[in-house]
Amino acid sequence: MELFAYSLLAFTFGSIPFSVILTNLYKGKDVRSVGDNNPGVTNAWKIGGSIFGMIVLLMEFSKAIIPIYLAIHVGNITGNNLILICVLPILGHGFSPFLKFKGGKALSVTAGMWLALFGIEAFLALFGSLAIVWTIQKNDAWTVNLSHLALFLYGMVMDISNQFFTLNNFLITWIIAALFMAFKHRKELSELPKLRNIKRDFRRSV
């Protein structure tokens, strides 16, 4: 019964479309009307600017961080049961009942999940690789998926785990998240990565 309650909390909290709600309140615009029409942080950033975008980003992180934190530290949920709590915010965001089950790509929620589980270790591995891949190629879908792959490789090499989440738990959760990301980016991933001309971009910047 307790697992069900935390599972319901995780899915419900993950499904709250903060980017849609906050952008509408702040700018009176639908975040899905710009860019790739995704109800996520990037389009909220485009509409409201960097400070607003950071606020939305933190809210999206919280959709995974809060239910996972509560499940671990209040509900004492660990191991295989915790996997369920981890993936439900992602599924909630991706198939939000508040958006007629047409949610976003859950990139920020996925990052929030890893931050909730492994803290600074996940932050450095994920966002460090994101910065590196972004400088090499410019297809955003490939950038985020390759960065997520880099997190997997780091986790395998460094045996990432803790007292409530084993390496096997990490592996299963990563596979589920990776499949979801690939599904949500299936159209963009059908195109090959586009390498940046680093020298030309550097010359333009200076």
Indicate the average pLDDT of the chain. 92
What type of residue sits at position 162? N
pLDDT at 196 over 80: no
Delimit the domains of the chain by residue range: 2-205
Single out the residue of 142, 86, 112, 131 nearest to residue 18, CA to CA.
Answer: 112
Please give the structure tokens belonging to residue 202.
């550097």
pLDDT at 101 over 80: yes
Token look-up 């589920």 returns: 176
Q: What are phi and psi of 22, to 5 degrees?
A: -70, -40
What confidence tens digit (pLDDT) does each residue in 49-93 have? 999 999 999 999 999 999 999 999 999 999 999 999 999 999 999
Task: Give yes or no for a contact between 58 and 105, defined as CB atoms under 8 angstroms apart.
Answer: no
Token look-up 């089950």 returns: 101
Task: Give yes or no for a contact between 64 and 112, defined as CB atoms under 8 angstroms apart.
Answer: yes
**pLDDT at site 205:** 42
Helix (H) or strand (E) segment spanning residue 157: helix 140-158
What confidence tens digit (pLDDT) does each residue in 107-160 have? 999 999 999 999 999 999 999 999 999 999 888 899 999 999 999 999 999 999
Per-residue pLDDT band at 200 (split at 50, 70, 90): low
